[in-house]
Amino acid sequence: MPTRSTPILSLLTEDLLIRVNEKLVQDSDRKKWRLICKEFHRVDSLARKTLRVLHVEFLLSLLKNYTNLHTLDLSVCPRIEDGTISLLLHHVDHSIWARNLKCLNLSRANGLKFAGLEMLVGACKGLESVDVSYCCGFGDREAAAISGCEGLRELRMDKCLGVGDVGLAKIVVGCGRLERLSLKWCMEISDLGVELLCKKCLELKFLDVSYLKVTNESLRSIASLPKLEDLAMVGCPYVNDVGLQFLEIGCPSLQKIDVARCDCVSSSGLSSLIGGHSGLLHIDAGHCFSEVSPTIVKCIQKLKNLNTIIIDGIRVSDTIFQTISSNCNSLIEIGLSKCEGVTNMGIIKLVSGCVNLKIINLTCCRSIADAAISAIANSCRNLLCLKLESCNMITGKSLEQLGLHCLLLEVLDLTDCCGINDRGLERLYRCSRILCLKLGLCTNISDKGLFYIASSCPELQELDLYRCQNIGDDGLAALSSGCKKLRKLNLSYCVEVTDKGTKSLGYLEELSDLELRGLDKITSVGLTALVTRCKRLIYLDLKHCEKIDDSGFQALAYYSRNLRQLNLSYCAITDMTLCMLMGNMTRLQDVDLVHLTNVTVEGFELVLRACCVRIKKIKLVAALSFLLSSEVQGILHARGCKIRWD
């Protein structure tokens, strides 16, 4: 009598299954794993350390299943409010899911206030990292709630507009072990708050005070931080060279400095800072002063370990490139966007010594031609990112050299390079690792060029074809066949695209961001074919797609419930369908509804009442500000929704 064989899964221990599970990097692979059997689903629940919640209605069940989380991300989950947190803590045994939680992302959770934060902090005793960026309604009371995280090491509070010196004082007293703090756009924080911060949080290694109205007195305080390695102070209008001189003699551990767009800082002040820190690894002085002075050139000679220098918008000469080439052989990244004085000879000198460059930004360096790109390709064989937007003298010869030598290239920006054509794209055939390719305004690109891209770039994730008016349906069919990993696609004003082309896009199952603005040949038939297959769309731009009628938008409402951002301006949608659309899309947070001529004021009133709980940004025609009821506008403002009037 035959004996039953032992199931193979019974031979695999739980520890072994967990180790296999940890090898799965892609979300799609993890999802397939969970669906194989109950045992694999159970192992995934045990092993999962990170959870990003997309629907608030699933939050309770998810936290019951995943009890060993280290990171919980609620940044894209609409309608997180105090009541949500109260419900969560009362219906789920928070001692289970909260005990191991180390990182909590509440970015853009505008509905969450003091009471909810206080409950969360009380339940999650082990929190080490919290992100409340863009919670514009947060004030000092909310900051006081966060101060209960005694073990906090990292805090991001970007654009918490109501947090002032009092709130910051609460945090620094309660969270004395902070190592990383970002206060970007916290406009109520002054020198007084920064001074107390620097007295209490001596473990700080990263600090971002960008766009604050602080003065040199804050830099005097910051200079006393013994362990500070990374300081960002972008766009601080009241800081000048005196402040940088404080940093020159302080911050002994400083490695990275960002003074971009500090209008009162001169090349002399930056020279002082560099003079006191010969171990700097990263300098960003973009749009800071008019030109690179001889003093800075001399100081750069001391920066033997420099790996990043960004001097966007500053006049340069070949001298600085020769200096960098001779002294900064460890350079990995250089930013020269909109710099005047960048020449072919300067770039040739630069790359002759800086052969380790991986990121080069030459945006709007209009004098750059094929000779410079050829030198880059021959010298920088490990190049990963090359930005050449508006370098109009570039031709297919440059792409040929890149295709021969830069086989690791991942990002290539050729926006508005009118010398690029199909033949040039063919010469990139060996660059099979390209992830991002930008060809917007390259008017000589046609379907033939897309055939070359589809056959050579199987890893492509982002493609920009903005106003490439020779692109048509055949090219999109090739893309959908050869570039299966494509996630972001811009086809705005590619006016030859029809329903046939949008139907082809339906085979790109990873597609998340799609711009179809101004495509006046697509109808509801094409949109329906697209959305029935592309279930992962989170951003869709249909502005000026005027031939799509209600039937297409009804299909969108039914199939695209994961959308977070939508532009329907100048579309032919009506009251009833717009209400249906906004009601069905429970994750929608940002929507443009400008010039919808078939929608009445009453229709807008109904729509706004239906979505006011979750919507965070909405763009409307300015005339509606006088026609909509003050009650509806008040509800939106109370919910933290930002209305943009066009």
Domains and CATH numbers, the chain: 538-645 (3.80.10.10)
pLDDT digits (tens, 9 = 90+) for 268-318: 999 999 999 999 999 999 999 999 999 999 999 999 999 999 999 999 999
Residue 97 banded pLDDT, cuts 50, 70, 90: confident
Cα 400 from chain centroid? Answer: 31
- Average pLDDT, integer, range 121-147: 93
Distance of CA 427 to the CA centre of its chain: 31
**Integer CA distances (angstroms), 626 to 355, 607, 632, in order:** 61, 17, 12
Question: According to the model, what pLDDT value does residue 18 have?
Answer: 66
Outline where DSSP puts E strands in 523-640.
Answer: 539-541, 565-567, 590-593, 617-620
Mean pLDDT of 83-110: 84
Closest CA relative to residue 92, chosen from 70, 65, 132, 125: 65
Q: Is the pLDDT of residue 31 over 90?
A: no
Q: What is the pLDDT of residue 81?
A: 86
Own/partner contacts of 552-556, CB < 8 Å, gap of 24 or more, are: 552/523, 552/524, 552/525, 552/526, 552/527, 552/528, 553/524, 553/527, 553/577, 553/578, 553/581, 554/580, 554/581, 555/524, 555/527, 555/528, 555/531, 556/527, 556/531, 556/581
Please answer whether residues 310 and 260 qualify as being in contact, where contact means their C-beta atoms are separated by less than 8 angstroms.
yes
Q: Dump pLDDT digits (tens) for 469-510.
A: 999 999 999 999 999 999 999 999 999 999 999 999 999 999
Helix (H, G, I), strand (E, B) or coil at 51: strand
User: Percent helix, strand and coil across the chain, each rounded to 5?
Assistant: 40, 15, 50
8 Å CB contact between 92 and 60: yes
According to the model, what pLDDT value does residue 612 have? 79
Quick: pLDDT tens for 377-408.
999 999 999 999 999 999 999 999 999 999 99
Contact residues for 458 (Cβ-Cβ < 8 A; gap 6+): 432, 482, 483, 484, 485
pLDDT at 5 (0 to 100) = 55
Given pLDDT bands bounded at 50, 70 and 90, which one contains residue 607?
very high
Question: Taking the chain, what is the end-to-end CA distance rounded to the nearest angstrom?
Answer: 81
d(CA 398, CA 285): 29
| Distance separating alpha carbons of residues 142 and 138, to the nearest angstrom | 6
pTM (2 decimals)?
0.92
- CB of 325 closer than 8 Å to CB of 301: no
DSSP 468-536: -TB--HHHHHHHHHH-TT--EEE-TT-TT--HHHHHHHTT-TT--EEE-TT-TT--HHHHHHHHTT-TT
- State the number of CA atoms in the 13 A half-sphere of 207 facing the CB: 28
Cα–Cα distance measured from residue 379 to residue 103, given in angstroms and rounded to the nearest whole number: 42
Task: Name the region of 493 (left: φ>0; alpha: ψ -120 to 50; beta: rest).
Answer: left
Confidence bin at 1 (pLDDT 50/70/90): very low
What is the dihedral sign for C-alpha 600, 601, 604, 609? negative
What is the band of 450 on the pLDDT scale with cuts at 50, 70, 90? very high
